[in-house]
């Protein structure tokens, strides 16, 4: 059974250790959004058969595991869950220096003939998802690929859309959407603030 979600209370989401800006999702909002996404995934797939969840590091991995936990609670089964690093597949490495590669962990049984749900925290330009599709093609041939994101902030550079969205968040390009999760940051909160891309506190997926 997947590990517990580690959701925190809304009071924790307002802790001064969190990022600056206006809170748009607190811990309870995030929990509800993931529960809804989990049910949508099951409904779209007509059950759990053939599902594989792959989180895009860093925060997408924790989100994928939480979705797997919710599916387990509903269906009583453990959906194969892993991670898909896209660092070396990005097309904007000159503008955004690459971080060190993160682990790619493909569940036993692989992805061939399966329905793969890519999970990420923020969808923005679409470049992260394009890179994920390229990375996925090197791993196998899934029957279908779908995308679940916690936040869709718009401003797409590529014709990519999410199948499952926790919150559509209209934003200006000058704003930063900052996602913090218990698994990586010690609290659950999404905030939006004015500021240049790459400023302290920005989500590492500003160009997702």
What's the confidence (pLDDT) of residue 96?
Answer: 61
pLDDT score of 202: 42
How many Å apart are CA 80 and CA 62, to the nearest integer? 14
Mean pLDDT of the region 5-28: 60
pLDDT in tens, 115-126: 999 999 999 999
Is the predicted pLDDT of residue 189 greater than 90, yes or no? yes
For residue 163, give the CATH number of its domain: 3.40.50.2020
Residue 130 in any domain: the answer is yes
Averaged pLDDT for residues 9-38: 76
Residue 131: strand, helix, or coil: helix
Q: What is the pLDDT of residues 56-110, one digit of tens each?
A: 999 999 999 999 999 999 999 999 999 999 998 988 666 665 566 788 999 999 9
Q: Whole-model pTM?
A: 0.85
Only one residue has tokens 């860093």, namely: 58
Q: Which residues are bridge partners to 83 per DSSP?
A: 55, 105
Does the residue 134 lie in any domain? yes
Confidence of residue 8 (pLDDT cuts 50, 70, 90): very low
Residue 146's alpha-carbon distances to 33, 50, 55, 139, 200, in angstroms, are 17, 13, 12, 16, 31
Containing domain of residue 22, as a range? 10-194
204 located within any domain: no
- What local confidence, expressed as pLDDT, does residue 94 receive? 63
Answer for the pair 77, 1: CB distance below 8 angstroms, yes or no.
no
Mean local confidence (pLDDT), 166-193: 96
Cβ contact 175:20 at 8 Å: no
Asked whether residue 208 is domain-assigned, the answer is: no
pLDDT at 91: 80
Q: How many domains does the chain have?
A: 1
27, part of any domain: yes
Q: Alpha-carbon distance 105 to 113, whole Å?
A: 18
Query: Across the strands, what pairs with 119?
Result: 55, 148
Q: Say yes or no to pLDDT of 45 above 60.
A: yes
- Give the pLDDT score at 7: 37
> What's the pLDDT at 90?
84
Beta strands in 87-205 (DSSP E): 115-123, 144-152, 164-168, 175-180, 189-194
Q: How far apart (Å, rounded) are the C-alpha atoms in residues 43 and 173?
A: 34
- Count Cβ neighbours within 10 Å for each residue of 153-188 and write b for 16 or more, e otherwise: beeeeeebebbbbbeebebeeebbbbbbbbbebebb
Query: In the chain, what percentage of residues exceed pLDDT 70?
Result: 80
Within-domain flag for 5? no
**What pLDDT does 6 receive?**
39
Q: Does residue 111 belong to any structural domain of this protein?
A: yes
pLDDT given for residue 120 in this prediction: 98
Question: Residue 201 falls within a domain, yes or no?
Answer: no
pLDDT for the residue 4: 38
Whether residue 14 is predicted with pLDDT greater than 50 in this model: the reply is no
pLDDT in tens, 129-175: 999 999 999 999 999 999 999 999 999 999 999 999 999 999 999 99
DSSP codes joined into one string, 133-164: HHHHHTT---SEEEEEEEEE----SSS---SE
């Amino acid at each position: 059974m997947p590990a517990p979600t580690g959701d925190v209370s809304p009071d924790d989401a307002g802790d001064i250790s969190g990022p600056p800006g206006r809170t748009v999702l607190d811990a309870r909002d995030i929990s509800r959004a993931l529960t809804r996404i989990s049910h949508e995934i099951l409904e779209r797939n007509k059950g759990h058969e053939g599902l594989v969840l792959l989180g895009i590091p860093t925060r997408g991995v924790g989100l994928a595991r939480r979705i797997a936990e919710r599916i387990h609670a509903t269906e009583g089964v453990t959906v194969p869950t892993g991670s898909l690093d896209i660092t070396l597949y990005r097309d904007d490495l000159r503008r955004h220096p690459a971080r060190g590669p993160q682990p790619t962990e493909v569940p036993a049984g692989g992805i061939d003939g399966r329905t793969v749900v890519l999970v990420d925290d923020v969808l923005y330009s679409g470049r992260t998802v394009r890179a994920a599709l390229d990375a996925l093609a090197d791993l196998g041939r899934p029957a279908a690929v779908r995308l679940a994101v916690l936040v869709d902030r718009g401003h797409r550079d590529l014709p990519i859309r999410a199948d499952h969205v926790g919150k559509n968040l209209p934003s200006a390009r000058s704003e930063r959407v900052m996602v913090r999760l218990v698994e990586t940051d010690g609290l659950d909160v999404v905030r939006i603030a004015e500021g240049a891309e790459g400023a302290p506190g920005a989500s590492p997926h500003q160009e997702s």
